[in-house]
């Protein structure tokens, strides 16, 4: 359990470093006003950020996901593994249920972390910036709005993460079985990369409109007076002003991010487990188990 936790944390760090620029673009596209849009699309947003703020602008708010990474992975690994064992059988349905449970529990840390990340990604660069970092951001929000402010977007985060993690683990389980991911297979790592990347894309597609709503709720009031009274009001106002396409805004950058993030996570987890376990991780002689490799090999979060 401890080894899987450490490997997952390392894989999560790699995933965040690879995927954060895409996440910054996604958030800016999601919350920009269509009355005065700053960006014409994913590529233009990338170019504008680099031109105006340098490459470092793409990594604004990086401290927040890294700060909560250890705790999130601890919850995801612990809850998913223990739930799967409690259910008594490793089946696709139980993989979904265990993943959904993990997604729901980790929202306690994920929601405040994403609130800080979103606000840091959207604040102006330079000395006029409002927040010095994720801790300062959450401290300021707490002083002004209390725990309710720190947990803004919790319900939308819960509605997003619970099915999303279920879809992630279900897709990963189905793909690893279909691909024949077995210990000792020389193509094990490429197969896991493919399964993980595809699972990440599937999980985002399953709940992406809720992610748009969550980002808008967490950014609400950052630039001007608050606009939304809750999830339903945010959906209503967004649809009325911009149509159904508003709920797909930033999807391209999200999907571009999903595959390499999960690929990086799986690769790192595999390397860490390989070095840590050494010969213990390799089957002896011809005794190769017939069952597909289970999620104990790698269980990354959707960061």
pLDDT at 285 over 60: no
pLDDT of residue 158: 95
Mean pLDDT of all residues in 20-31: 86
pLDDT of residue 296: 39
Tens digit of pLDDT for each residue in 174-229? 998 898 877 777 887 788 889 889 999 999 999 999 999 999 999 888 777 788 98
pLDDT at 302 over 50: no
> Which DSSP string do the residues of the chain spell out, in sequence order?
-HHHHHHHHHHHHHHHHHHHHHHHHHHHHHHS-SSS-S-SSHHHHHHHHHHHH-GGGGGTTTHHHHHHHHHHHHHHHHHHHHHHHHH-S--HHHHHHHHHHHHHHTHHHHHHHHHHHHHHHHSPSSTT-S-SSHHHHHHHHHHHHHHHHHTTTHHHHHHHHHHHHHHHHHHHHHHHHHHT--TT-TTHHHHHHHHHHHHHHHHHHHHHHHHHHHHHHHHTTTTSS---SSHHHHHHHHHHHH-GGGGGTTHHHHHHHHHHHHHHHHHHHHHHHHHHHGGGGS--TT---SSPP-GGG------
Of the candidates 15, 140, 28, the residue with the CA atom closest to the CA atom of residue 69: 15
Whose structure tokens read 């189905």? Answer: 174
Rounded to whole angstroms, how far apart are CA atoms 207 and 201?
11
pLDDT of residue 224: 74
pLDDT of residue 294: 40
Contact status, residue 11 vs residue 300, Cβ threshold 8 Å: yes
pLDDT of residue 62: 86
pLDDT at 25 over 50: yes
Residues 6 or more apart from 285 whose CB is under 8 A from it? none
From the centroid of its chain, how far is CA 95?
18
Residue 37 structure tokens:
């849009």
Quickly state the pLDDT bin for 13 (edges 50, 70, 90).
confident
Contact status, residue 59 vs residue 134, Cβ threshold 8 Å: no
pLDDT of residue 298: 38
Mean pLDDT for the chain overall: 81
Tens digit of pLDDT for each residue in 225-242? 788 989 999 999 999 999
Quickly state the pLDDT bin for 67 (edges 50, 70, 90).
low
Q: What percent of the chain has pLDDT over 90?
A: 36
Tens digit of pLDDT for each residue in 68-99? 666 676 677 778 878 988 998 889 999 999 99
pTM above 0.95, yes or no: no
For residues 211 and 123, the model is more confident at 211
Neighbours of 158 (CB within 10 A): 18
The phi-psi region of residue 125 (left if phi > 0; otherwise alpha if psi is between -120 and 50; otherwise beta) is beta
């Amino acid at each position: 359990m401890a080894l899987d936790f450490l490997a997952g944390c390392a894989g999560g760090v790699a995933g965040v470093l690879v995927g954060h620029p895409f996440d910054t673009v996604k958030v800016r596209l999601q919350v920009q006003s269509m009355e005065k849009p700053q960006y014409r699309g994913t590529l233009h947003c990338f170019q504008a950020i680099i031109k105006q703020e340098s490459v470092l602008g793409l990594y604004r708010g990086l401290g927040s996901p890294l700060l909560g990474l250890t705790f999130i992975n601890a919850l995801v690994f612990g809850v998913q593994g223990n739930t799967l064992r409690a259910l008594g059988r490793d089946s696709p349905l139980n993989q979904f249920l265990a993943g959904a449970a993990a997604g729901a529990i980790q929202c306690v840390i994920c929601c405040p972390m994403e609130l800080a990340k979103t606000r840091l990604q959207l604040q102006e660069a330079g000395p006029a910036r409002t927040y010095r970092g994720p801790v300062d951001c959450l401290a300021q929000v707490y002083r002004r709005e209390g725990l309710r402010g720190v947990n803004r977007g919790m319900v939308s985060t819960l509605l997003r993460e619970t099915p999303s993690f279920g879809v992630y683990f279900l897709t990963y389980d189905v793909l690893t079985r279909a691909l024949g991911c077995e210990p000792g297979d020389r193509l094990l790592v490429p197969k896991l990369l493919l399964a993980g990347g595809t699972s990440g894309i599937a999980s985002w597609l399953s709940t992406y409109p809720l992610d748009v709503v969550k980002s808008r709720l967490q950014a609400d009031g950052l630039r001007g007076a608050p606009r939304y009274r809750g999830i339903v009001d945010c959906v209503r106002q967004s649809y009325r002003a911009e149509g159904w396409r508003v709920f797909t805004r930033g999807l391209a950058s999200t999907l571009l991010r999903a595959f390499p993030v999960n690929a990086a996570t799986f690769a790192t987890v595999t390397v860490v487990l390989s070095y840590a376990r050494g010969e213990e991780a390799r089957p002896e002689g011809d005794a190769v188990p017939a069952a597909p490799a289970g999620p104990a090999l790698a269980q990354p979060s959707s960061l």
